[in-house]
Amino acid sequence: MHVIVADDSPLSLELVSAALEAEGHTVQTANDGLEAFALLEAGAAQVLISDWEMPNCDGIELCRRVRKAGFGRYVYIIMLTARGGTANLIEGLNAGADDFLSKPFDPSELSVRMGVAARISGLESRDMMIFAMAKLAESRDNETGAHLERTRAYCKILAEQMSHDPKFAGVIDGEFVRTIYATSPLHDIGKVGIPDAVLLKPGKLTDDEFRIMQKHVEIGASTLEAVLKQNPCAGYLKMARDIAWAHHERFDGTGYPRGIKGHDIPLAARIMALADVYDALRSRRVYKEGYPHATAKRIIEDASGGHFDPDVVNAFKQCDAQFVAVSEQLADLHAKSKLSVAA
């Protein structure tokens, strides 16, 4: 892995670098936090190992800056410290550190910590691969723009909001939120199996064409099911399958493909259903204009208990301002130019 080591002690820098290089990692060194930040900004390092006390910008400040900057990738941060105690641990974690390595460091401990860093970075590349596959599947459909980016953001907002509801305690946690964000883009992956004549038809579909289009849920779900069979413990595959299979089911049982109702519909699919429909309502199509937020909101509220789970609709009502922000940030180009013409 590509690692940046920040420490104001030349000896410590050398020892840590040598141990990392001996394990095959690529290392860059920095004498303080500012230098380390510049290296992180300019390069593609995945791991930062930082001393706690340094001149100019100390380890805690560096953590905060790295988390604020984001860099479009996850930087795994290990704090190198002689400090013990819960208060220091909490300060480090609050600033965004992932792990701690005691000083003077033990090479075998460093090796174990780097193993954890590699696992976390691997998860990130898995999520990026999932999104790339979803984008590829969607690329045949030229009307959808940033639909996947928006719907995964809506799913995350809804799941986060619902995680505060005691009703979902122990059901929706941080892992659920991360998983729905990662897997919801696969909801329409089955559209790869829909013929161009139906998928790309401008305008409304006939009943027969709609029946063909509906097959996308079964095609997507059976593809994911095949992978799930080989990895039955993979929770993210299960959620991806559930979403693909059930995102067109309706709370009152009038959806497809199975017409299941209420809590028989997997929770992640009930959340996806609202995110998907909200985005469809707001988006312009060949045959329709996009609705303003207030209209989309009213339609969704009216469908509480019908199309949508009332708990999901309630969450939506509490966080709909965040939906507006996402729809503006990730607006499609034609929608953006329309807005500027209107303005």
Cα(273)–Cα(76) distance, integer angstroms: 34
Task: Tell the smallest beta-carbon distance from residue 101 to Fe ion (Å).
Answer: 44
Residue 336: which residues within 8 A CB-CB, separation 6 or more?
Answer: none
Output the CA angle 193-151-269, nearest 5 degrees.
70
Task: Tell the smallest beta-carbon distance from residue 211 to Fe ion (Å).
Answer: 14
Angle between helices 107-138 and 174-183 (to 10 degrees): 40
Nearest to 141 by CA among 87, 188, 82: 188
Task: Tell the smallest beta-carbon distance from residue 114 to Fe ion (Å).
Answer: 39
Using CB under 5 A as the binding rule, whether residue 242 contacts Fe ion is answered as no
Q: Which stretch binds Fe ion (CB under 5 A): 104-112, 133-141, 232-240, 271-279?
A: 271-279
Task: Tell the smallest beta-carbon distance from residue 214 to Fe ion (Å).
Answer: 9
Task: Tell the smallest beta-carbon distance from residue 188 to Fe ion (Å).
Answer: 4
Residue type, 338: K
CB of 98 or CB of 188, closer to Fe ion:
188
CB of 119 or CB of 140, closer to Fe ion:
140
CB of 154 or CB of 176, closer to Fe ion:
154
Cα(326)–Cα(154) distance, integer angstroms: 8
Output the CA angle 69-46-28, nearest 5 degrees.
100
Answer whether 240's CB lies under 8 Å from 186's CB: yes
Alpha helices in the chain (DSSP H): 10-22, 33-42, 59-69, 86-95, 107-138, 147-163, 174-183, 196-199, 207-230, 235-246, 267-282, 293-302, 310-329, 333-342
Task: Tell the smallest beta-carbon distance from residue 174 to Fe ion (Å).
Answer: 25
Beta strands 26-30; 47-51: pairing state: unpaired
Task: Tell the smallest beta-carbon distance from residue 200 to Fe ion (Å).
Answer: 15
CB of 149 or CB of 165, closer to Fe ion:
149
Site residues for Fe ion, window 180-199 (CB under 5 A)? 188
CB of 35 or CB of 188, closer to Fe ion:
188
Q: Which stretch binds Fe ion (CB under 5 A): 47-55, 64-72, 274-282, 314-322?
A: 274-282
**Site residue total, Fe ion (CB under 5 A):** 2
Using CB under 5 A as the binding rule, whether residue 276 contacts Fe ion is answered as yes
Using CB under 5 A as the binding rule, whether residue 99 contacts Fe ion is answered as no
Binding mask 135-174 for Fe ion (x = CB under 5 A): ----------------------------------------
Residues that bind Fe ion (CB under 5 A): 188, 276
